[in-house]
C-alpha cells in the first residue's frame, strides 16, 4: 500500500517510525540534523497521519505495521536501512532488529516493557487523550494551546516542556490523533504485546527521565532484555524529539555510525 512520507538528505537510509496516534511530523525537529549524514525517511503507519488505513481484513498490531513498513521501503528500493522509532515505533524498530531486517535500531521509550498495571494505565491515558482530541474543535484546540495551563494539561503526558512546542506542531499533532483510523484497534492490541525476541543487530534504547506515559522504571526491564544500559534522556518526556532534538539526533547518529 502507498504510505505518506517525508524524505530528506543523502547517505545510508534511515527510516523513522512514530508512536500511536502520531504522524511523521513527530520527527520534524530532528530530520534536518539527521539528513546531514543520512537519507532520512519519516513515514506514517497505515491508518495514521495521512497514510490510508489497512484493508478491513488486516488487523492493526505491531506485526502488521512492521510488515507494511518493510513493504514500503522495498518499493523505495531500500535494503536493510537503519531505523529509529518512538513508543509504538520503538517497539516496531526493536522487532525489526530481532528479525535482522535492519542495519541498526534505536528505540525511544518503546512499548512492550510494561507490567500489566502499567499497560492498563498507558492504554487508559492514551484513550483519554484520543477522546479529548476528538471532542475538541480546531478553534477550541487553538484557544487551549494559547493558555500555558491548557498546554500543560493536554501535553504534559507526552513532553516535559509543553511551552517549548510550536503552536502549529501542537495543532497538527492534535489533528493527527483525532483522525487516526487505526488508533482504537492498535491500542487494543497493546493488551498482549510483550517484548520482541532478542536483537540480531546493534540497538540503542533511550528513555526520557520525565516520561509520564511509560515511566522510566520500564527502562530497567528494557535494559535487562537488551543486556545493556539504557540511555536516560535528561529533561525529556515520552516524545523526546520535541524536548531535545539535538540529543535525540546525537543518539541516533552514534548508533548508525557505530
Q: Give the pairing of strands 105-108 and 82-86.
A: parallel
Question: What number of other Cβ atoms are within 10 A of residue 140's Cβ?
Answer: 12
Per-residue model confidence (pLDDT) at position 141: 47
Confidence of residue 136 (pLDDT cuts 50, 70, 90): low
On whether the CB atoms of residues 98 and 197 are closer than 8 A, the answer is yes
In angstroms, rounded to a whole number, what is the distance separating the alpha carbons of residues 178 and 185?
A: 14
In angstroms, rounded to a whole number, what is the distance separating the alpha carbons of residues 132 and 198?
A: 37
Compute CA distances 4 → 34, 202, 219, whole Å: 19, 28, 31
* Position 233 pLDDT exceeds 90: yes
Per-residue model confidence (pLDDT) at position 135: 80
Average of pLDDT values for 235-243?
A: 97
- Total number of domains constituting the chain: 1
Q: Give pLDDT tens digits for 241-256.
A: 999 999 999 999 999 9
This prediction has a pTM of 0.94
DSSP of 106-173:
EEES-TT---HHHHHHHHHHHHHHHHHHHT--HHHHHHHHTSHHHHHHHHTTT-S-GGGS-HHHHHHH
Q: How far is CA 204 from its chain centroid?
A: 15
> What ranges make up the beta strands (E) of 33-94?
39-43, 82-86
Instruction: Compute the 3-state secondary structure of the chain and give helix, strand, coil in percent, each to the nearest 5.
Output: 50, 10, 40
Per-residue model confidence (pLDDT) at position 108: 98
Q: Give pLDDT tens digits for 218-231.
A: 999 999 999 999 99
Q: Which of 9-23, 33-47, 82-96, 158-172 has the lowest mean pLDDT?
A: 158-172
Q: Give pLDDT tens digits for 144-155.
A: 444 554 556 568
Q: Which residue has the cell 552514534?
A: 254
The set of cell numbers assigned to 132 is: 479529548
Confidence of residue 123 (pLDDT cuts 50, 70, 90): very high
Q: Give pLDDT tens digits for 38-77.
A: 999 999 999 999 999 999 999 999 999 999 999 999 999 9
Q: Give pLDDT tens digits for 163-215.
A: 888 888 888 898 999 999 999 999 999 988 889 999 999 999 999 999 999 99
Residue 124's CATH number: 3.40.50.1820
Per-residue model confidence (pLDDT) at position 142: 47
Average of pLDDT values for 76-100?
A: 98
Q: Which of 23-37, 125-139, 240-254 has the lowest mean pLDDT?
A: 125-139
Give the structural domain span for 235.
Answer: 5-256
Per-residue model confidence (pLDDT) at position 143: 44
Residue 91, burial from CB neighbour count under 10 angstroms (0-12, 13-18, 19+):
buried
Nearest-CA neighbor of 226 among 112, 119, 125? 112
Amino acid at each position: 500500500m502507498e504510505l505518506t512520507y517525508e524524505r530528506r538528505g543523502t547517505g545510508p537510509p534511515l527510516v523513522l517510525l512514530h508512536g500511536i496516534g502520531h504522524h511523521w511530523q513527530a520527527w520534524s525537529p530532528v530530520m534536518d540534523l539527521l539528513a546531514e549524514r543520512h537519507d532520512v525517511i519519516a513515514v506514517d503507519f497505515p491508518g495514521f497521519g495521512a497514510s490510508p488505513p489497512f484493508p478491513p481484513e488486516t488487523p492493526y498490531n505491531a506485526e502488521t505495521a512492521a510488515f507494511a513498513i518493510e513493504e514500503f521501503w522495498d518499493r523505495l528500493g531500500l535494503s536493510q536501512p537503519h531505523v529509529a522509532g518512538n513508543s509504538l515505533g520503538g517497539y516496531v524498530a526493536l522487532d525489526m532488529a530481532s528479525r535482522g531486517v535492519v542495519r541498526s535500531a534505536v528505540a525511544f521509550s518503546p512499548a512492550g516493557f510494561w507490567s500489566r498495571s502499567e499497560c492498563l494505565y498507558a492504554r487508559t491515558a492514551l484513550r483519554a487523550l484520543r477522546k479529548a482530541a476528538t471532542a475538541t474543535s480546531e478553534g477550541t484546540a487553538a484557544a487551549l494551546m494559547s493558555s500555558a495551563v491548557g498546554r500543560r494539561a493536554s501535553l504534559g503526558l507526552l513532553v516535559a516542556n509543553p511551552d517549548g512546542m510550536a503552536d502549529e506542531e501542537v495543532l497538527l499533532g492534535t489533528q493527527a490523533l483525532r483522525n487516526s483510523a487505526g488508533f482504537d484497534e492498535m491500542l487494543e492490541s497493546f493488551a498482549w504485546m510483550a517484548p520482541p525476541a532478542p536483537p540480531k543487530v546493534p540497538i540503542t534504547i533511550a528513555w526520557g527521565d520525565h516520561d509520564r506515559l511509560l515511566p522510566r522504571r520500564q527502562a530497567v526491564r528494557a535494559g535487562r532484555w537488551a543486556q545493556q544500559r539504557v540511555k536516560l534522556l535528561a529533561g525529556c518526556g515520552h516524545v523526546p524529539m520535541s524536548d531535545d532534538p539535538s540529543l535525540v539526533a546525537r543518539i541516533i547518529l552514534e548508533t548508525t555510525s557505530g
